[in-house]
Amino acid sequence: MSAVATAGRTAEGRSWAAAWYGLLVGGMVVGLACFVYQWINGLAVTGLSNTISWGMYIITFMFLVGISAGGLIVAAGAELVGSERFASLQRLAVLLSGTAILAAAISILPDLGRPQMVWRMLRQPHWTSPLIWDVIIIGVYLTIALIDLYILTRPNPKPGALRTMAFFALPAAVLVHSITAWIFGLLVARPFWNTALMAPMFVSSALVSGLGLLIVTAHIVDRTTEWEPDRDVFDDLGRLMVWFIAVDGFLLFAEILTTYASRVPDHLKQLNVLLIGRLAPVFWAEVAIGVVVPFAICASRLRERRGWVVAAGALAMLGVFAKRINIVMTSMFMPLVGLAPGIPGGRAGQEFAPDPIYIPTWVEAGILLGLACFIGLFVTLGVRYLVVPERRSTG
């Protein structure tokens, strides 16, 4: 892990670096191989079925879109309010955002049954589909990140340029999360998704996880390279985290309370799955590690210790991941027409599944590993060639 540290400096460093790159490239090869395997054999090699027709790929997609928020919002937000506080983080932040959104875009491909046909979305886009809008906004968002990165890595960045970009970046960020949220939120078929709070919740969770990612990566890069963020930045990030988590936690609470109070049977059933049913462990983990603990850390004096802030950041990210799982799975577990014998499994030998379970397979794991390695590689290279040089030049 500490390979980036001294990348290319010492002999020992070189071999660490080689190992790290080897690991990442190896992981990507595995992921690619899995993808090819899946392409040939179809999504039958996943744990998905007609009932739980969306799984880890979509969860990962949502998560990646989410964590892409942190970077740009922090960078742009700082720019807009003219805060110098996070200036030292800007390049890293933008790099993370760009990578995450790129990875998010890629993560859609393995979820498609016929990836070779994806171009049809461009040939004949169907404008009522949130998916089309999401593709567009992801493209826009990625472009903004690239432009930002370009601006930031110019030897003499034009002072106003970033600020101008921020005017685009912020709304784009809000939109990318909202539209992703609406992919789910606009479905009448899914009472648990079909809530007005879906978009705000997505934005708030995105902020939490994005910030978490930034904190954790900043810490690692700081430890392993000569790049150094400003001294107080972790404390500041922690402070920010308090607010983000507070809002996110509040929205979650509001959503659950409203669902509960509505007493609509469909909704209640789904809520039960979450609160006391099969997803309860994941849900309460989400609450504990995603809300309570990081909030407690960041709102208390523990925040002054960097290690705690980093831990809070990591936990918050995990919590949001759990939340993504919950959002997707609650609805998938509970088809609206739930009478026996349920929805046909989808493959030979699979009976009707009144009570489906979803266990991701090694293929899904492999592909996601590949994606993670891709992110790792991208960030490593970015840090090495774009972020670290900055420090060297300015510091």
Partner 1 sequence: MPEPTKVSPVEALPEASREYGAIGEVSDDPRWGMAVDTERCIGCWSCAVICKSENDVPLGMWWNRILTRGEELDTPETGEFGRLDMSWVPLACQHCDDPPCMKVCPTSATFVDTEHGYLVEVNQDDCIGCRYCMAACPYGVRVFNWGEPEYPVEGFDLGMVEPRPIGSVEKCTMCIHRLEEEQVPSCVWSCPAQARIFGDLNDPDGRLVRTIEDRGATQLLEEKGTKPKVYYLEERRRRSL
Partner 2 sequence: MPVTRRQFLAGAGATAGVAVAASATVLADDVGEEPSPSLLVDKIVRTTCSPNCTGSCGQLAFVRDGKIVKIQQAADYPDPVYSPRGCMKGLSYHLQIYGPDRITTPLIRTGERGSGEFREATWEEALDHVASEMKRIGETYGYDSIHVFGQVPGSGYIQKGANYRASAVLGMSHGTSFDYNGDLPMGMPITFGVQNAEHEAKDWANSRFLLVVGANPLETRIPDAHFLFDAAANGARIVVVDPVFSATASKADTWIRLRPGTDAAFALSVANVILREELHDEDFLRTYTDAPLLVNESTGKRLREADLRPGGSPERFVVWDPGTEAPVTVGIDRLGMPRGVEPALVGSYEVSLASGATVVARPGWDHVRAEIETWTPEAASELTGVDPDVIERLAIAYASTEPAAILMGGGSNHWYHGDLTGRAYALLAVMTGNVGRSGGGFSVYVGQYRVRVAAAPWNFPDDIHGPIVSTIYWVTGPTDTMHPSVPYPKDGFKALFLTFSNFLLQSPNINQVYERLSEMELVVDVDHQMTETARWADVVLPAATWYEKWDLTATPLHPFLQLQQPAIEPVGESRPELWIWAELVRRIDPEQHATYFDGWDEERAIEAILAAGDVEGGPTQGVTLEQLKAGPVRLNVPDPDVPFLAQVQKLAPFPPISPPSPIEATQVFLPTRRIELYKEEDRFLELGEQVVTFKDPHDDGVHDPAEYPLTLLSPHSKWRIHSTYSNNAWLEEIHGGRPQVLLHPGDAAARGIADGDPIEVFNSRGSVKAWAHVHDAAGPGTATLPEGWWSRYFLEGKGVNELTSSAVNPIHEVWYVPNMWAPSTGWKDCRCEVRRA
* Residue ranges that bind partner 1, judged by CB under 8 A: 41-46, 48-51, 53-54, 108, 111-115, 117-118, 120-121, 123-126, 128-132, 135, 183-184, 186-190, 331, 335-337, 339-341, 343-350, 352, 354
Contact set for partner 2, span 324-343 (CB under 8 A): 341
Binding mask 292-331 for partner 2 (x = CB under 8 A): ----------------------------------------
Q: Which of 181, 151, 148 minimizes the C-alpha distance to 166?
A: 148
Q: How far is the CB of 351 from partner 2 (least distance, A)?
A: 5
Q: Which of 298, 283, 200, 192 minimizes the C-alpha distance to 245?
A: 298
Nearer to partner 1, 157 or 354 (CB): 354
Q: How far is the CB of 352 from partner 2 (least distance, A)?
A: 7
Residue 233's contacts (CB-CB under 8 Å, 6 or more residues apart) are 85, 86, 88, 89, 218
What is the C-alpha to C-alpha distance for residues 9 and 189, in angstroms, rounded to an integer?
57
Q: How far is the CB of 371 from partner 2 (least distance, A)?
A: 32
Q: Are 104 and 137 in contact (CB under 8 A)?
A: no
Nearer to partner 2, 40 or 348 (CB): 348
Three-state DSSP state, 352:
strand
Computed from CA positions of residues 301, 216, 157, 99, in that sequence, does the dihedral angle turn out positive or negative?
A: negative
Nearer to partner 2, 26 or 344 (CB): 344
Q: How far is the CB of 246 from partner 2 (least distance, A)?
A: 46
Stretch that binds partner 2, among 15-23, 182-190, 225-233, 344-352 (CB under 8 A): 344-352
Q: Is 243 in the site for partner 2 (CB under 8 A)?
A: no
Residue 261, contacted partner among partner 1, partner 2, none, CB below 5-8 A by kind: none
Residue 1, contacted partner among partner 1, partner 2, none, CB below 5-8 A by kind: none
Residue 284, contacted partner among partner 2, partner 1, none, CB below 5-8 A by kind: none
What is the C-alpha to C-alpha distance for residues 295 and 282, in angstroms, rounded to an integer?
18
What are the start-end ranges of the E strands in 119-251? Answer: none
Q: How far is the CB of 120 from partner 2 (least distance, A)?
A: 12
What is the C-alpha to C-alpha distance for residues 69 and 203, in angstroms, rounded to an integer?
8
Residue 206, contacted partner among partner 2, partner 1, none, CB below 5-8 A by kind: none
What is the C-alpha to C-alpha distance for residues 1 and 6, in angstroms, rounded to an integer?
11
Residue 15, contacted partner among partner 1, partner 2, none, CB below 5-8 A by kind: none
Q: How far is the CB of 18 from partner 1 (least distance, A)?
A: 39
- What are phi and psi for residue 343, nearest 5 degrees? -95, 140
Q: Which two tokens stand for residue 346?
A: 């989808």
Residue 347, contacted partner among partner 1, partner 2, none, CB below 5-8 A by kind: partner 1
- Residue 371, classified by CB atoms within 10 Å of its CB into exposed (0-12), middle (13-18) or buried (19+), is buried
Q: Which of 73, 25, 20, 30 minimizes the C-alpha distance to 364?
A: 30
Q: Is 355 in the site for partner 2 (CB under 8 A)?
A: no
What is the C-alpha to C-alpha distance for residues 226 and 336, in angstroms, rounded to an integer?
55
Q: How far is the CB of 346 from partner 2 (least distance, A)?
A: 11
Q: How far is the CB of 358 from partner 2 (least distance, A)?
A: 20
- Contacts with partner 2 by CB under 8 A: the residue count is 4
Q: Is 344 in the site for partner 2 (CB under 8 A)?
A: yes
What is the C-alpha to C-alpha distance for residues 18 and 28, in angstroms, rounded to an integer?
15
Q: Is 160 in the site for partner 2 (CB under 8 A)?
A: no
Within 13 Å of residue 360, how many CA atoms lie on the same side as its CB? Answer: 18
Q: Is 352 in the site for partner 2 (CB under 8 A)?
A: yes
What is the C-alpha to C-alpha distance for residues 188 and 191, in angstroms, rounded to an integer?
6
Residues near partner 2, by CB under 8 A: 341, 344, 351-352
